[in-house]
Amino acid sequence: MPNIGHFFHVFIDSYPLFMKGLLLTLQITIVSILIGTVVGLLFAFFKLSSSRVLNAIANVYIAIIRGTPLIVQIFFFYFGLAELGISPYWCATLGLALHNSAYIAEIFRGSIQSINKGQLEAGRSLGMSTPLAMRRIVLPQAFRRALPPLGNQFIIGLKDSSLAAFISSSELFNVATTQGSRTFEEMTYLLIVAIYYLVLVLLFTLLVNKLEGKIAGGDE
């Protein structure tokens, strides 16, 4: 274990490197969640569809993604796309997006199903088509209810982004392991990166909790 004085000295000296890694970590997380949200919403509609074929496609997709380790999915993209000149950043981002999409699909499915079916029928009685009533009436409410669990999924994705280090993406965890190996102070840098992750998670948890409070207040 490093002494306190030395630890803070290393913490301050390594700040520029870790800030670069932090920005990349946030970038990977945000982009993967955005892509995962689009793909997840698509598969949520597949699960809610009356088509057995679309139901089966969604069920198989979600079962495979949720039933295999995230690191395997990231390596799948890395070894499959690296030969095409795709950067480790995009391999990690796509792997995380694929993984997140399966969980986001279930979040959207549950949110949409939680909306009273009478509202969709009311929209249709006003002359709206089913897709139009879904878009104007059901989806805005479903998105509102999905925001808190989507926030939690973002926090999970933030921590999962550390696996990008295994394909040489220079995010937070990669900075820690690289610097630890270079200086032979692995424990010091692991403690430092743990602090960065902890602060990030606490900040985003606070934001998610505030969001949940506003939504709960709006539903009263």
pLDDT tens-digit series, residues 39-82: 999 999 999 888 999 999 999 999 999 999 999 999 999 988 77
| Token pair listed for 151 | 């926030």
Integer CA distances (angstroms), 24 to 35, 44, 65, 92, in order: 16, 29, 24, 11
Q: Is the pLDDT of residue 23 over 90?
A: yes
pLDDT band at 122 (very low <50, low <70, confident <90, very high): confident
| Token pair listed for 156 | 């999970």
Q: Is the pLDDT of residue 132 over 80?
A: no
Q: Is the pLDDT of residue 175 over 80?
A: yes
pTM comes to: 0.87
Q: Is the pLDDT of residue 6 over 70?
A: yes
Phi/psi zone of residue 115: left (φ > 0), alpha (ψ -120 to 50 degrees), beta? beta
Q: Is the pLDDT of residue 219 over 70?
A: no
Q: Is the pLDDT of residue 191 over 90?
A: yes
| Token pair listed for 55 | 């139901």
Q: Which residues contact 77 (CB under 8 A, 6 or more apart)?
A: 86, 91, 92, 94, 95, 98
